[in-house]
Amino acid sequence: MLKILLLNPPHPEAKGFTREGRCTQEAGVWATQWPPVSLATTATFLENDGHQIKIIDCPAIGMNRQILKNELGRFSPDMVFWNTATPTLSHDLDLGHLIKNVSPHATTGVIGTHVTALPESALNFPGIDVVIRNEPEQTIREICFHPGSSWRKINGISYRSSDSGKIRHNSQRTFLKADSIPAPAWHLLDLSPYRLPLKGRPFLIVAPTRGCPFACSFCTASLYYGRKPRQRPVKKVVDEIENNMRQFSIFDFFIWADTFTADNNYVENFCREIKKRDLKIRWTCNSRVDTVNKKLLTEMKSAGLWMISFGLESADDAILEKSGKKINTAQSRLAVNNAHAVGLKVSGHFIFGLPGENSRSMARTLDLAMELPLDIAQFYTAAPFPGTALYAMAANRGWISRDDGCSQNQASMHLPDLTPGQVDAFTRRAYKKFYLRLKILLNLFSMLEPGALTGIGIGLKRFLGWTLHKNSG
Ligand code: SF4
């Protein structure tokens, strides 16, 4: 039996921060701290194998490096694995140094889309022994089956050779079969920090499917879960929901998947199963605008869906075309209007600064956001994450000068028609113009629930702090 520590490491500026496959985000007014589903699912496998597991989600509980160091000393793990993300990369990787100082005998490994695309970026840090490429569960499990140094032969990893010091990349691992993906071991975490924004209610993530066949130029989804969609059996997914209700008294769920609504039949079966069992739950999910219609949305609402998020990205069809998103503005309008018409709250996600962007196209995107019946809008800056087509284009054309540090909260690409500063300035303007409208503010207040005040206070403080910080820059 090994002692294994699974970590979401501290944020460099002690902010809330989610690192989860293609999704990396700072906690804010709407973006909240997500329960670390990859770590908790890995923990299920490891616990079943008889290991002693500890999961620490540092940003969720406000744990800084010093406290983490003390915790490492107390637990004295044999293996430590942690999540990394492009925006916090060097800080995340440098953690290996701290871990080796406290637990020199521990094997250290990192997961995440950036290190999957560029394993060398991690292995140049001497505190990191192994990079786990793509989805982490089975690879971590096999490393733990082979302690010492025999793990070096397994698939799905990159590492430094112990004799020559050269970096080696073992073969790709086959992705997990959908029906072998277990429920996350949430019992290993204190779930109280995970709260829905504006609502304040505790929530959990349930991941029914993995994999995305689309090839949006800016997205890292395929680096984590691959391109082939894998659907977990509906019965198992709903069993997991029911168990979470019973075991943790949680009734709110974020159905997290790359392409949940891509297969309408699967979604309808999921909704039918929830209604058949008469589960009184509320849930939200992400979707693509070209995969929903009024009938499906009505069915989803009747099974407890209360909000749906669409990646609308841009109001410029030429930009959408170039991005590989394979949607157009007419589809965006139809999906948002349909969702609103059946009584769902709707969140729209937009990206400023994709290739082909200029100040006129950004203005059109903002106009679209203001015109549609959206309850929430998130405005991101295009981020050339390593491993994406956008990264290859940006690197080839000299739009970026470095691989790490880019984020969806701060532009980094020098496009032919726009500087990063112009994209950032427009993003700030978009937030102000969208949210500083009476109907939006009244709507947000109407969504508030008792118990949400603490969460809202933290969120607003972060948002205002962010806005003031940017404005003063
Ligand atoms: S549809 Fe596009 S943005 Fe959504 S998960 Fe797939 S590749 Fe990513």
In terms of domains, do 322 and 285 share one? yes
Query: 347 with 441, same domain?
Result: yes
> Are residue 380 and residue 459 in the same domain, yes or no?
yes
**Total tally of structural domains belonging to the chain:** 2
CB 219 less than 6 A from any atom of ligand 1: yes
Report helix angle 438-447 to 420-435, nearest 10.
70
Which residues sit opposite 71 in a β-bridge? Answer: none
Q: How far is the CA of 22 from the centre of ligand 1 (A)?
A: 9
pLDDT in tens, 184-230: 999 999 999 999 988 889 999 999 999 999 999 999 999 999 999 99
Helices (H), 180-233: 221-225
CA distance 100 to 355: 42
Question: What are 452's two structure tokens?
Answer: 């949400």
**∠ Cα 168 158 100 (to 5°):** 110
Query: Tens digit of pLDDT for each residue in 290-342?
Result: 999 999 999 999 999 999 999 999 999 999 999 999 999 999 999 999 999 99
Is the CB of residue 313 below 6 angstroms from any atom belonging to ligand 1?
no
Q: Are residues 114 and 215 in the same domain?
A: no
Rounded to whole angstroms, how far apart are CA atoms 471 and 359?
A: 19
Query: Cα of 250 to ligand 1 centre, how many Å?
Result: 28
**235 CB burial (10 A radius; 0-12, 13-18, 19+):** exposed
- List pLDDT tens digits, range 396-442: 999 997 776 688 989 999 999 999 999 999 999 999 999 999 999 99
DSSP state of 14: S
Minimum-distance ligand 1 atom for the alpha carbon of 311? 3
Note whether 151 and 279 are same-domain residues: no
- Assess whether the C-beta atom of 216 lies below 6 angstroms from ligand 1: yes
Same domain? 227 vs 335: yes
DSSP letter at 19? E
Same domain for 288 and 346: yes
| Together in a domain, 215 and 113 | no
Q: Residue 124's closest CA among 173, 90, 83?
A: 90
Ligand 1 pocket member 78 (CB < 6 A): no
168 has pLDDT over 80: yes
- Both 139 and 46 in one domain: the answer is yes
Q: Is any atom of ligand 1 closer than 6 Å to the C-beta of 221?
A: yes
Whether 258 is in the pocket of ligand 1, judged by its Cβ within 6 Å, is yes
Distance 325 CA to ligand 1 centre (A): 7
Domain that residue 159 falls in = 3-169
Give nearest CA residue, ligand 1 atom 4. Answer: 258
Q: What is the mean pLDDT of residues 232-246?
A: 98
pLDDT on residue 454: 57
Tell me, yes or no, whether 19 lies in a domain: yes
pTM above threshold 0.75: yes
Report the residue among 113, 209, 212, 310 best suited for mutation to probe ligand 1: largest number of ligand atoms under 8 A from its CB. Answer: 212
Atom of ligand 1 nearest to the CA of 219: 8
Q: Which atom of ligand 1 is nearest to the CA of 286?
A: 4
CB 226 near ligand 1, within 6 Å: no
In a domain, 74, yes or no: yes
Query: 4: Cβ–Cβ under 8 A, 6 or more apart, which residues?
Result: 46, 51, 52, 53, 54, 77, 78, 79, 80, 81, 144
Please tell me the distance from the alpha carbon of residue 452 to that of residue 200, in angstroms, as a whole number.
4
Does 113 share its domain with 63? Answer: yes
Q: What's the pLDDT band for 23 if we cut at 50, 70, 90?
A: confident
- The answer to whether the CB of 109 falls within 8 A of the CB of 143 is yes
The pLDDT confidence band at residue 253, using thresholds 50, 70 and 90, is very high
Q: What is the number of other CB atoms lying within 10 angstroms of the CB of residue 293?
A: 14
CA distances from 463 to 32, 225, 302, 431, 434 (A): 12, 31, 33, 10, 14
CA angle, 397 as apex, 394 and 399 as ends, to 5°?
A: 50
What's the CA gap between 5 and 23, in Å, rounded?
A: 22
What's the 382 CA to ligand 1 centre distance in angstroms?
14
Q: Residue 228 maps to which CATH number? A: 3.20.20.70
- Distance from the CA of 167 to the center of ligand 1, in angstroms? 31
Mutate to test the pocket of ligand 1, among 223, 224, 288 (most ligand atoms within 8 A of CB): 288
Sequence letter at residue 147: P
Is 163 strand, coil or helix? coil
User: Could you tell me if 111 and 35 lie in one domain?
Assistant: yes
In a domain, 187, yes or no: no
317 alpha carbon to ligand 1 midpoint, in Å? Answer: 17
